[in-house]
Amino acid sequence: MRPLPTHLLPDSAEVVDGVLHIGGCNVLDLATEFGTPAFFYDEQHLRDRCREAVAAFGPGVAYATKAFLCAAMAKLAYEEGMHLDVATGGELHVALAAGVPADRLVLHGNNKSSAELRMGIEAGVHRIVVDSFDELDRLDQIHAETGLTPKVLLRLTPGIKAETHDYISTGQDDSKFGFGVSSGAAELAIDRARSAVSVDLVGIHAHIGSQVFAVGSLGRAAGVIGEIARSHEFEELSVGGGLGVPYVEDERAPTISEWGRVVREACAEAGVSARITAEPGRSIAAAAAITVYTVGTIKDLPGIRTYVAVDGGMSDNPRPVLYGSGYETFLPRAVGADRTKPVTVVGKHCESGDLLVRDGLVPPDIAVGDVLATPVTGAYGHSMGSNYNMVLRPPVVFVRDGEARLVVRRQTFDDLSRFDT
């Protein structure tokens, strides 16, 4: 009767006397030591996915920091040989502050300000991925002021709709991102950037969306821009990120290595000789973490549903509310137990949309005080968290070889008043 599917747990997950251990640490002990809610990351899982990405795409492959960023994560991706994709001045700042050299950073963003561009150019970032004609204007201006000439890629929109949620689909013609291929904007941008003194155009980029299971679509997009890279003899081609991960029982996703193979094949077919690179985020970080909560209230509404309320919610994982995303849930004290009780796991925020797991299953003996977990929360959870209702943002703990280290501390009430003047 449907115990938690273990392929959703971090690589190092083991069950000892029924209890979940990650990175050699007992999850119930971690919950006691660090409190709840908390994000527990399997550090070796993160490292292994970074290594897999480097093996699949080569050393220029960039970790998309929007998926999950803190100093420890920036350092880890750097140590494992990755570049880092930063999409705002804030992400750029955190990566630099973590000690990642600027020449390992790729600066993204559909609406970079002059200040953000200058910050990146003056730091000496590896690449700027240019997204609009207005940005090319700003780069002209910065060159006139500083004499600096950054190496850039142009972000193209290949006109391919990824099979994913509309909010995170970016490759279709109707998109705020990039220069459209079918409208002719891409060719105009290439001509302009080629002849500009303000930038050194080394290649092109496309990212068609996120949480994509069909590597065929990712391959097709690579083929479309591969063709353009070949005809212009560009030296570099980035296929963005987007590889999906399974969140719930029946989902399966290709591995990073399989994605790399499909992209390489599509590029080889298009006769591309450019260096091919990519920017995975979710596929590096998502399955590395679980979020652990404490059950505070259980309401059985006869004939309707059972609400299980925990001490976090949409402030530590807004994905169910934003995208209707599904998650599994389980009790770390009884990982292999049959989950026969249907429940809806909700948070502590003051709105009915505050759902973490819409149709979850838990063991029938679930009780107030139980530690409850949701797996696959390592990407776009902590990074999209908020202080809604002035709920404190949870800590992040890395576990490996029986050791746990706190890498982001829990917020305090004093943190909440820090910005008031």
Characterize 70-93 residue by residue with b for buried, 16 or more Cβ atoms within 10 angstroms of its Cβ, and e for exposed.
bebbbebbbebbbbbbbbbbebbe
How many other C-beta atoms are found inside a 10 Å radius of the C-beta of residue 34?
20
Local structure of residue 211 (DSSP, 8 states): S
In angstroms, how far is CA 4 from the centroid of its own chain?
Answer: 23
Least distance (Å) between residue 128 CB and ligand LLP:
12
Helices (H), 196-244: 215-232
User: Rounded to 5 degrees, what are φ and ψ at 346?
Assistant: -120, 165
**Which of 94, 226, 113 minimizes the C-alpha distance to 160?**
226
Q: Are 76 and 98 in contact (CB under 8 A)?
A: no
In angstroms, how far is CA 296 from the centroid of its own chain?
Answer: 29
d(CA 79, CA 228): 33
The contact set with ligand LLP (CB under 6 A) reads 64, 66-67, 85, 108, 168, 207, 210-211, 240-243, 279-283, 319, 323, 380, 384
Local structure of residue 65 (DSSP, 8 states): G
Q: How many residues does the chain have?
A: 421
Least distance (Å) between residue 372 CB and ligand LLP:
21
Rounded to 10 degrees, the C-alpha dihedral 149/151/153/154 comes to 0
d(CA 84, CA 64): 6
Given the DSSP bridges, would you call strands 127-130 and 151-157 parallel, antiparallel or unpaired? Answer: parallel
| Alpha-carbon torsion (166, 168, 172, 174), positive or negative | positive
Q: Decide whether 164 or 329 has the Cβ nearer to ligand LLP.
A: 164
Least distance (Å) between residue 299 CB and ligand LLP:
28
Least distance (Å) between residue 43 CB and ligand LLP:
19
How many other C-beta atoms are found inside a 10 Å radius of the C-beta of residue 349?
18
Q: Decide whether 285 or 337 has the Cβ nearer to ligand LLP.
A: 285
Least distance (Å) between residue 16 CB and ligand LLP:
32
Least distance (Å) between residue 323 CB and ligand LLP:
6
Q: Decide whether 175 or 294 has the Cβ nearer to ligand LLP.
A: 175
Least distance (Å) between residue 384 CB and ligand LLP:
6
Q: Decide whether 281 or 332 has the Cβ nearer to ligand LLP.
A: 281
Bridge partner residues of 209 (DSSP): 169
Residues designated catalytic:
350
SS (H, E, C) 366-389: CCCCCEEEEECCCCCCHHHCCCHH
The residue assigned the tokens 């829990």 is: 410
Angle of helix 71-79 versus helix 43-57 axis, rounded to 10: 40
The residue assigned the tokens 């963003």 is: 109
Q: Decide whether 298 or 321 has the Cβ nearer to ligand LLP.
A: 321
